[in-house]
Amino acid sequence: MDILPDRWLDLPAFIWGKLTNYLTVHLELLLSGALAYLLLATVIALAIDCYALGYERSALRRLLRPSRSARTDWVLYLLSATRLMQLISIVLSAGLLYFMPKIQANYAAFDFRIQFDSPVVQFFFFLILDDFLQYWRHRLGHRISWWWQVHKMHHSATEFNVITVARSHPLDLALGSLFVYFPLSLVGMDIETLILIKVLISIQGKLQHSMVDWNWGWIGKYVLISPIGHRIHHSCEEPHWDKNFGHITPLWDRMFGTWYDGELVNETVDVTGNYMNKKGVVHDVLKAQLKFGQFMFLKKWSLRFGVVTDKRQKPS
Ligand SMILES: [Zn+2]
Ligand SMILES: [Zn+2]
């Protein structure tokens, strides 16, 4: 196995080799068109936000004079844009993200690939399957006690500024990748399709984390989750608890009974029991990691601790 050093004495050189190799590969990705497009998507989303809200209320203004919450968003956004986040995810998931492709290679022999003749049908099949898995990934992230401890970082934002989309705990990202991309790769989704999906939905994801007052009419109700549609998911208002888990389309929320169809719209975002944004991002990441460990190994696993119970304990 090439994943282990021959001799323990070689360990520092081995780790350094892996690290430099990782950085080289990811630097190439960083300079590739896909990532440039993702950065362009941020600029476009910021411009739309500024147009819709005016400069005074815009995300751009909040990013230029960042609050404590926005400072965390900045750090996590830059780590994710430079792909360094993946490196941190590998460390905080105890190598899970690193070993995944190797396990995957072993299973490739079983050939679970699903192939359609038309590349368009093939693409939409993966797009829908990806979104379906994202829905359940997100719902479990709220329902499983230990997963919620790290997913809570995404909900600890006290304001939206477009780049809040990248505000995720590295371990939440690693668990999400395992849940979504591992099965997708087994049925034959390649990295190019994954990048294309990410690029296509990047502006939508960013606008979903803005204060733009758009619900997109019937499109927002049935086709694509609008900015208001996702803002509801970040709400402290009781009727909004555990609603709108969807990523791209509201279809899954409608199908599985978690879509909020009411008229109430929250003007703020937050989560109760929010201990983050006070002592810096490193503190918040490590504290969430510690809480994850407590809930994973020391407490009884619970499927009910999600947002609902959290808020019932400490009503706002
Ligand atoms: Zn959530
Ligand atoms: Zn969100």
Ligand 2 centre distance from Cα of residue 93 (Å): 22
Classify each residue of 98-127 as buried b or exposed e, where b means 16 or more C-beta atoms within 10 Å of its C-beta: bebeeeeeeeeeeeeeeeeeeeeebbebbb
Please tell me the predicted confidence (pLDDT) of residue 90. Answer: 83
How does residue 315 score in pLDDT terms, banded at 50, 70 and 90?
Answer: very low
Closest-CA residue to 229 (of 212, 146, 163, 113): 212
Ligand 1 centre distance from Cα of residue 136 (Å): 11
Ligand 1 centre distance from Cα of residue 123 (Å): 26
DSSP secondary-structure letter at 218? H
pLDDT (tens digit, 9 = 90+) per residue, 263-310? Answer: 999 999 998 889 999 999 999 999 999 999 998 888 766 665 444 445
- Cβ atoms 105, 270 nearer than 8 A: no
The CA-to-CA distance between both ends of the chain, in Å, stands at: 53
DSSP secondary-structure letter at 129? H
**What's the alpha-carbon Rg for the chain, to the nearest Å?**
20
Least confident of 17-26, 39-48, 276-285: 17-26
Closest-CA residue to 160 (of 219, 205, 222): 205
pLDDT (tens digit, 9 = 90+) per residue, 176-202? Answer: 988 888 888 888 887 778 878 888 888
pLDDT at 92 exceeding the cut of 70: yes
Report the distance separating Cα 131 and Cα 127, nearest Å.
6
Q: Which ligand is nearest to the CA of 137?
A: 1
Q: Which ligand is nearest to the CA of 208?
A: 2
Q: What is the pTM of this model?
A: 0.84
Ligand 1 centre distance from Cα of residue 266 (Å): 16
If residue 85 lies in a helix (H) or strand (E), which one and from where to where?
helix 84-92
The two tokens of residue 49 are 């936000």
